[in-house]
Structure 1
Amino acid sequence: MSTAPMRSGTRALVPALMFVALVVAAVGSLGTPLVTSVATTFHVSLDSAQWTLTIALLSGAVATPVLGRLGAGPHRRATILATLAIVVVGSALTVLPLPFAWLLVGRAAQGVGLGLTALLMGVARDHLPEERSAATIALISVVSIIGAGVGYPLAALLAEFGGLRTAYGLGLLVTALALLTAWRSVPAAPAGRSARVNVAGAIVLAGALFLALFLAGERSLWSRHLAVAVTLAVVAVLLLGLWTTSELRSRTPLVDVRAVRHPAVAGANIAMFVGGSGMYLLLTLITRYAQTPPGAGYGFGLTTFAAGLVLVPFSVLGFVAGRLTPRVRERIDGPLLLAGSAAVVGCGFVVFATARSGLAELLVAMGVLGLGVGSFSAAMPGVILAVTPTSETSSAMSFNYVVRSVGYSLGSAIGGLVLAAGTATGRLLPDDDAYTTAALVGIAAMVITAMTGLALARRRTPGTGPTAAPDGVPVGAPGRGRSSRTGS
């Protein structure tokens, strides 16, 4: 391949990866602002309508490790295109005048696209120069989170003026464009790789994740049928243990569990789980508070569209933080950035806990959250990939995104449980103090996350040279991954 085509392809590849990452994230979040519209259009309960969001998160969590393993092999391009085709079909099902069950099928198909983020990172690591790949991977991580802030107000606006099918029609349009973009821009994986999917392990993991996300989403189960909830939780833990044992014994593991046990990777995943719970908790608290009618004694009674605009500072400042983080990493180590980002999110909780009488204060809290989430998301891949072989990029990051999905679900569940506990008998809305209690829980989560980052930073010995990856090749060493970058 000549130098000119390579440079031209590189220029086209970066925006293509960003666009696809943004689309799958935005489409996956379409369920959030449309729950009420779904309930009224299909004449179902709000709990049933909530599954349009839950089922997308669930299918994404299950698909992510499978796609990550497929992305580690020679058929990564085909995997990306096939996944986007599934998302397009799912988007069409959400637009067609079909019964509610088919809407859930369509949303599940759209959620599969959430598993593409790790594969896009693998493409960037293989086909971009070292410095540019690190910045691109960081931005892909950020875009995969702030995509919700982009999709939420657009979907709410279209639903308000054009109806539910029009809002879902936006998803069909952008996913079709994403498929075309990927077909034109994503290169094939380097030659010489192989990847087999451990089907039995995938089934066991799917069962465990389904139970975990189901228990996180069905908050009423814990209050009305505690024994059943506890039993299902025990089964989920047993399935995870069985899956881990199976992965350790398998010659073709779905996730390289031995690499996950590396202190840096394990610590980063703990930080992602706890930190993700706290970050999503604050996001849901602010959105719900803004939409609460003033008759409750607090809140601003914003419409779905107006509440979506509250997410704009989150998306804008999150993107800015994501762009700046790779430069900051040249001076500050990744684990310290994770700790600092957790502290910033903690400040957002403090703002929300102490000052929320005006809409401007909610916007400030959302902006602070965006700064923290953007820098946290941009720093996370660097911490994990610093000790991960190039060929295992997709697999390692896919596991991290499964952890993130479960953490987000847990954060949503915690918020619901705390607010439910703060709702007086006979009232529909929680007391204002319940939001303060939930914010204190979030502050505790961010303290744990910051301490985890600091513990990781203390394990790093300055001046010892590049960090050794599990394949024995130090990250940043000359020639690392170069043979694979030339293939397309």
Structure 2
Amino acid sequence: MTAAPAHGRPGSTAPIRSGTRLLVPALVFVALVVAAVASLGTPLITSVATTFHVSLDSAQWTLTVALLSGAVATPVLGRLGAGPYRRATILATLVIVVAGSALTVLPLPFAWLLVGRAAQGVGLGLTALMMGVARDHLPEERSAATIALISVVSIVGAGVGYPLAALLAEFGGLRAAYGLGLFVTAVALVTAWRSVPATPEGRSAHVNVAGALLLAGGLLLVLFLAGERSLWSRHLAVAVSAAVAAVLLLCAWTVSELRTRTPLIDVRAVRHPAVAGANLAMFVGGSGMYLLLTLITRYAQTPSSAGYGFGLTTFVAGLVLVPFSVLGFVAGRLTPRVRERVDGPLLLAGSAAVVGCGFVLFATARSDLAELLTAMGVLGFGVGSFSAAMPGVILAVTPRSETSSAMSFNYVVRSVGYSLGSALGGLVLAVGTATGRLFPDDDAYTTAALVGVAAMAITTAVGLALARRRPPGPGTGPVAAGVPGRGRSSRTGS
């Protein structure tokens, strides 16, 4: 397939060739599908437990295993996406996702459902590859906006998949809900096959297999420990041992990456102050963002007999996410325009402050459903703006050929942050649950919200610290990286 030139003068507005006219909607659609399908486990946990006659803790693994496989697959796919076989990698990954989706629909035992969900989670690694395609094959102004939009839909996709899956499960059963995943992933495969162009010539990438295994082991332990909160209370020695093992594996992975000529992730590039700061902001901010999302949805579904809550059904609770998705999408569309006048780090700081306001709203006003919807909308706007601004901060100091690898590492950081946010929320609410009671005290939600305010304050401070740094020198700024920075620099000559 003929593609637009991968390089050109900064600020180029050359038209996209006919072969890539549908590239932008194709990339956004694939990113949206993999995010929505991975989130299908959230509203279906209860249905899985009743259908397969397993405990809720076991059913929870239909969500956890997708996040785990996504976190492990993302850096590997990011490295493969930096090489000459990116198109083949994308198509092969989507084939795996489609096959996994088929396993979730077929009348097979519970173990096969987990295998299918793990295969679906692998698709989460495609988001960074979609960004790499956009950066290589679109004019610079449009590639920046497209990358920002891909980042946003990878977040708000959960808000799309949640209510749809819940509605199908309510009226058609569990298999109908998973059938939706099979249908949209098959469409995504056909879309990618017809629209994704080949990688520009001159690329090479080799996977450091030893490094991949070390990183996979470390991430699996980290995310497992974050998701299994009961392990810390019932088997503290085992949890501590696993935590030490995770640290050792990640340290060994770092040493391996520094020594090899073909690192899975360029650790030296990650140490760049802008990249390190952005990843720190993603980790802390992601923890806070997912914490508030968890708090609001759980609060909305708590029966009023607990003294608070609204007792919403799974489907209606999913509709609470609509303001999150809508305002997140709006913010994602606005952010590239604002980015022309405001530095990316300042946008990160401002977005984190907006999410912090959402925490304050939830902490002080949640007695009415409209107040919850308002807090969810504020959260969505902040998350959308944050997600749209993040790629620009990282890619401004990243070579074009390393786009997929750099962004894949950021998404691993995001996954760990989300898992930590979920675990943190569960821990605070568990501490606030009186002995013999099923639901936590209302004050526990306020405490959790204050923890979130602190997390977003830290994220805001990191963004402001990045903004205070001197502009990057020649060869490392937005122009050299091939993405627009501030409006002035994106229009200057090379």
Q: TM-score range by the shorter chain?
A: over 0.9
1:56 match: secondary structure: helix
- Aligned residue in 1 for 2:11: none
Quote the offset at 1:10 in angstroms: 2.9
Match of 2:218 among 208, 212, 221: 208
Amino acid at match of 1:420: A
Q: Tell me the residue number matched to 2:8.
A: none
Q: Distance in 2 between matches of 1:427 and 1:2?
A: 61
The 5 Å alignment of 1:276-291 reads: 276-291=286-301
Task: After TM superposition, give the deviation of residue 469 of structure 1 in Å.
Answer: 5.4
2:16–2:139: 8 Å Cα contact kept in structure 1? no
| Amino acid in structure 1 at the alignment position of 2:168 | L
- Give me the whole-angstrom Cα distance separating, in 2, the residues matched to 1:6 and 1:354: 50
For residues 158-199 of structure 1, give each alpha carbon's deviation from its aligned partner in whole angstroms, at most 9, with x where no partner exists.
000000000000000000000000000000000111000011
The separation in 2 between residues aligned to 1:473 and 1:125, in whole angstroms, is 10
Gaps of 5+ in 1: 483-488
**Could you tell me which residue of structure 1 aligns to residue 132 of structure 2?**
122
Task: Report the CA distance between 1:473 and its aligned residue.
Answer: 6.4
Equivalent residue runs for 1:87-166 within 5 Å: 87-166=97-176
Q: 2:19 & 2:458 partners in 1: Cα distance?
A: 43
Partner of 2:467: 457
Q: Percent same amino acid at aligned positions? A: 86
| Inter-partner Cα distance in structure 2 for 1:139 and 1:2 | 20
- Bigger drift between 218-227 and 35-44 goes to 218-227
Pairs within 5 Å for 1:170-319: 170-319=180-329
Aligned to 1:20: 30
User: What's the offset of the Cα at 1:7?
Assistant: 2.7
Alignment partners' CA distance in 2, 1:163 and 1:27: 17
Instruction: Call closer, same or farther: CA 1:193–1:479 in 2, change over 3 Å.
Output: farther
Q: Amino acid of the residue matched to residue 41 of structure 1?
A: T
Query: Are 2:335 and 2:388, in contact at CA under 8 Å, matched by a contact in 1?
Result: yes
1:224 CA drift (Å): 1.3
Q: Is the 8 A contact 1:468 1:475 kept in 2?
A: no
CA deviation profile, 1:105-148 (whole Å, cap 9, x unmatched): 00000000000000000000000000000000000000000000
Q: Secondary structure at the match of 2:230?
A: helix
Name the structure 1 match of 2:374: 364
Q: Which residue is 2:92 aligned to?
A: 82
Instruction: Give the SS at the match of 1:30.
Output: helix
For residues 364 and 471 of structure 1, do their structure 2 counterparts lie closer, same or farther at Cα, with a shift above 3 Å needed?
closer
1:392 counterpart residue number: 402
Change (3 A) 1:45 1:307: same
Pair 1:421–1:408, CA change in 2 (3 A): same
Q: Among residues 427, 430, 452, which one is paired with 1:442 in the alignment?
A: 452
Alignment match, 2:441: 431
* Contact kept in structure 1, 2:351 and 2:382, CA below 8 Å: yes
One-letter identity of the residue aligned with 2:293: L
Partner of 2:39: 29
> Equivalent residues in 2 for 1:314-353 (5 A)?
314-353=324-363
- Gap runs ≥5 in structure 2: 5-13
Which amino acid letter does the alignment assign opposite residue 384 of structure 2? Answer: G
CA distance in 1, matches of 2:377, 2:16: 38
Q: 1:25 to 1:475 in 2, by over 3 A?
A: closer
Q: Aligned partners of 1:5, 1:389: CA distance in 2, in Å?
A: 23
Matched letter for residue 243 of structure 2: A
SS at match of 1:184: helix
For residues 220-255 of structure 1, the C-alpha deviation after alignment (integer angstroms, 9 at most, x for no partner) is 011111222112111111111110010000110000
CA distance in 2, matches of 1:346, 1:292: 23
Mapped partners of 2:386, 2:87: distance in 1? 28
Q: Distance in 2 between matches of 1:419 and 1:204?
A: 33
User: Kindly tell me: are residues 307 and 198 of structure 1, through their superposed partners in 2, closer, same or farther at Cα, counting changes over 3 Å?
Assistant: same
CA–CA distance in structure 1, aligned partners of residues 490 and 377 of structure 2:
40
Alpha-carbon distance in structure 2 between the residues aligned to 1:404 and 1:302: 29
Corresponding residue for 2:65?
A: 55
Q: How many pairs are equivalent?
A: 479
> Would the alpha carbon gap of residues 248 and 293 (structure 1) be closer, same or farther in structure 2, given more than 3 Å must change?
same
2:365 is equivalent to residue 355 of structure 1? yes
Q: Distance in 2 between matches of 1:322 and 1:446?
A: 19
